Structure 1
Amino acid sequence: MSLSVAVAGASGYAGGELLRLLAQHPELEVRTVTAHSNAGQPLLAVHPHLVSFADLVLQPTAPEVLAGHDVVFLALPHGASGALAAQLPDDVLVLDCGADHRLERASDWADYYGGEWAGSWAYGLPELITPGGRRRDELAGARRIAVPGCNVTSITLGLQPGIAAGLIEPVDLVSVLAVGPSGAGRALRANLLASEILGSASAYQVGGVHRHTPEIVQNLRTAGGGEPTISFTPVLVPMSRGILATSTARLAPGADASAVRAAWEAAYAEEPFVHLLPEGAFPASGDATGANTCLVGLAVDERAGRVVAVSAIDNLVKGTAGQAIQAANLALGLPETLALPVNGVAP
């Protein structure tokens, strides 16, 4: 018997991607979709590509609408999930695709988001290296899961093997990301209009102020990095979806190229959704489009004494919706890879 699912914030990009992937899930049945300003409209009015959900109408996002389902996905703006989730029954599996429950330290929330901290939930990055193994070991049976940020996922998966193995210095980390505008959501903003971004690239949230910074540090700390420091700069580029993260780190004393590659190979040899490319090969962002994969290319810049990791993800799949479903599968005792594509879409 299928488990019932509600998707809150279904009219947005993340909500739409959740529905696209859930449509193929044999154990999860979407019964309710909610929205704010679009409530009352047929789902197809905002997502005409989701023809398998032609019978669904967007309902208001309210606890009484979401209660009564086995699984609830929250694809809401930051700051909107905490109070809503607190009103849902404890036995419901709730996955928050926003930032409200990702950070373990109230001080980090105060510094980067402000307002009341909603507390931390089980962190839904199964591949995250932990002192005891991987984060997936802690997700079985969880009923509250925080889905990681998209930029966070690309940087964490690119750098963590070197941190865990002690082959790169955890300070003076640098990451520059080319990102598509869908990561900023569907709300109309002048700087995200096609006429503003086509033929142009622009850095934003420069100088350590991006809200994903403390989450990246938190992950690399978990992987064994002590108190890491990272300079992280996202660059908006004219592609609808995708992230290409180029992350560099100083080689630790005594480390060499062969040890570096061996560490990344060992870290991801058994991972179904993280793939280390052959030596000399590097991913394009489009290689991961539509897939729940992270593709990683690796090099050692001997002259600079730095490791270079280039990681590509689809920000709406491995960066959000696919990662949420992957975590849900683990929490429910289902096969981790169920209903999640590993092949991208090209051209």
Structure 2
Amino acid sequence: MQTVFVTGATGLLGNNLVRLLLERGVRVRALARSRSKAEAQFGQLPGLEIIEGDMQDVAHFAPSLAGCDVVFHTAAYFRESYGGGKHWAMLKRINVDATAELLTAAHAAGVRRFIHTSSIAVVNGPRGALIDETMARDPRDADDYYRSKMQSDRVVQDFLRHHPEMFATFVMPGWMHGPGDLGPTAAGQFTLDYLRRALPGIPPGTFSFVDARDVAFALVAAAEKGRRGEHYLAAGRHIAIHDLVQIYEHVTGAPAPKRQIPVAVLWPIATMQEIIARITGRPALLSLATVRTMRAEAERTRFNPEKSRDELGLTFRPIAETIRDEVDWFKAHGMI
């Protein structure tokens, strides 16, 4: 790789991917909706070219794809879909339709290598099972965001079938944390809320916790060593929320909440939050979609790393290290 194009470059995953590529001497064209946000995220890094554009208008930035060896597609519409209300139109527009447009534009520009950021949303299994890349989720068992990611994958797979000269692979992250979360994402907001003592208690549920820097490594390794059309899990470590906040307490010194919040209590809280969100126009702090996902995915967050370990060389750093670096970054950027 000499020159690559990265969508979603200012996001948590995107900015860590950009930094990794630059460290390896690769020139990066980084797509960002806001040049000022990109400059706040990156400053003036050598080898970086900011391309101002939006996934809603691929044609606008398509000329910048020419001369690139690889497109890394990390952009997605996600956070808002868990902020209350219905978001299917925008989920389909950004996650599905725009992916098709990006593939077509990249191919027309001469790009033949496309690394797609998929999601653990596209796989599923029984509670407690070790889930691997072959265990496809039933579309009937998917919320709108999960459904958009499944359709996005299908777009890429269909393109590969019709273009045998094109190479694409899929990397499937879990719940990403880490430094560089300027947004912040819901994961970063969880960390900020913990530090501000804003968590009212410990809800039930489990996650697959992963450092965004490890996912960035997986994306680069997939471009270098991945097999055409294959999915690679980069889901991280299974952990219950109760155990996760104990690590937060150990790393930060801030006491973890003690009270357990049952799911039955979360439903009315989420309902009230969505009513407030509709009145104020601000996202719900806890939405009904979040509660549904938390309940549906509990104990379905054990993912088999064997394929990614063997083929990509992927390993996962300790959760405590990720939290420490995430907190230090928030402090350094005045967000705490």
- TM-score normalised by the chain length of structure 1: 0.40
Higher helix share: 2
Q: Which has the higher contact order (CA 8 A, sep 6+)?
A: 2
